[in-house]
Amino acid sequence: MERGKISNRQFTILVALYTVGTAILIIPSILAFSAKQDSWIAGLLGLGMGLLAVLLYCSIAQKFNGLDLAQYLEVILGKWLGKTVSFVFFSCFTLLLASFVLRDIGDFMTTVMMVETPIDAILILFLAVVLYAVRLGLEVFARASEVFLPFIVILFLVLFFSISPKMEIQNILPVYEFGFKPIFRASISLLTFPFLELIVFLMIIPYTNKPDDRRSGFLLGALIGGVVLIIVSTLSVLVMGVNETTRSVYPSYDLTKGINIGKFFQRIEAMMALIWFITVFMKLTILTYITTTGLAQTLQIKDYKRLTFPIGIILFVLSLIIFPNSSYLIEFTPVFETYTLIFGLVFPLLIWVLGVFRKMKGSGIGY
């Protein structure tokens, strides 16, 4: 299905950008809502659990070296059951997740930047670029991620050093005021969004050109993305305080509104928006690519590009009808956390156990 190869560096960048993705705008308020001023502790705990999940994915990839998720589901479950499970995964998880990401784009643009522009126009324009990238293939958008990376790093450093003078350490005090339970609850939110969503990279990891470096690249990408999210979340609380961070829909975007150096360098929230545009573009491209290639493989369609336009139409329609408004999306978040736990944790654990069982039965599957 995919004849191209990407380097370990490109794979690491894709994982990092995917991890940051849509989370950079909304994860600070999610963490602050439960953990309050201990958001940074919840972030570290969630990152630790997230890296354990990535180790599980790496172990699965190693057991079925050279095969992607759709292929080794057929190996361990048989052709027809494997195809059925694959179809459910790609249609009920990756496709749905991609529609969430697309809707996030529309909600953000129509809420804070282009409030009088119809959401339909924004979704169509953004989706057209994504579908074009998907048709060009894995190698092309992986190389594009390398081009985007320096801009993201520079913009992030500018934002960090510009907002640092406004930090107030008392905003994260007292430490551990409400105990472990709210911290753990917040860490689960970070685990499910975005770390358990990284299971989708089991469709990409076989196409890295250095199999021995896949594990380190996967872990490093998740670590970099997680650290960025923790830094942004901590900055939001340090600068705006817990209450304002919790009330804000996009706290990291509002955070940059407070930058004012010499009454000249100010109102640069577009920088945060640009970082988000790049990361969310890569996340949506990866999800759409994996959905099209996975369904094409499951349905035995030789060229996945035939599905890009139909998938694009489905994504557009789903993103419009799946949530009536942003408030509904916020209320639905706990339900989606459970949904992600099933597909991102329970599902891969079952695959791993079945892989071990088949190996013990002498099926020929091994390391």
**pLDDT at site 366:** 42
Does residue 347 have a pLDDT over 50? yes
**pLDDT at site 330:** 66
The reported pTM is: 0.95
Peptide bond into 28 cis (omega under 30): no
Structure tokens belonging to residue 158: 């500018």
How far is it, in rounded angstroms, from Cα 350 to Cα 174? 41
Q: What is the pLDDT of residues 321-342, one digit of tens each?
A: 887 776 676 677 778 888 999 9
Does residue 362 have a pLDDT over 80? no
Q: What is the pLDDT of residues 164-205, one digit of tens each?
A: 888 999 999 999 999 999 999 999 999 999 999 999 999 999
How far is it, in rounded angstroms, from Cα 46 to Cα 34? 13
Element (H, E) at 266: strand 265-266
Burial of residue 314, with CB atoms counted within 10 A of its CB: 0-12 exposed, 13-18 middle, 19 or more buried: middle
Residue with token string 């924004």 = 122
Residue 330 CA: distances (Å) to CA of 99, 323, 334: 15, 10, 8
Quick one: pLDDT band at residue 147, thresholds 50, 70, 90? Answer: very high
Q: Closest Cα to residue 2, out of 48, 68, 50? A: 68
Q: Closest Cα to residue 40, out of 280, 203, 224, 226? A: 226
- Report the pLDDT averaged over residues 23-29: 91
How far is it, in rounded angstroms, from Cα 125 to Cα 232? 28
Q: Burial letters for 217-237: b for 16+ Cβ neighbours within 10 Å, e otherwise? A: bbbbbbbbbbbbbbebbbbbb
**Percentage with pLDDT > 70 across the chain:** 94
Q: State the SS3 of 63-86.
A: HCCCCCHHHHHHHHHCHHHHHHHH
Structure tokens belonging to residue 279: 């990361």
**pLDDT at site 212:** 86
Q: For 8-355, which CATH class?
A: mainly alpha
Residue 4 CA: distances (Å) to CA of 128, 134, 299: 23, 13, 21
**Percentage with pLDDT > 90 across the chain:** 70
**pLDDT at site 336:** 83
Quick one: pLDDT band at residue 361, thresholds 50, 70, 90? Answer: low
- Residue 171 DSSP code: G
β-pair partners for 260: 266
Quick one: pLDDT band at residue 92, thresholds 50, 70, 90? Answer: very high
Parse the chain into domains and list their residue ranges. Answer: 8-355
- Report the pLDDT averaged over residues 62-72: 88
Peptide bond into 348 cis (omega under 30): no
- Report the pLDDT averaged over residues 233-241: 94
Tally Cβ neighbours within 10 Å of residue 128. Answer: 12
Residue with token string 């995919």 = 2
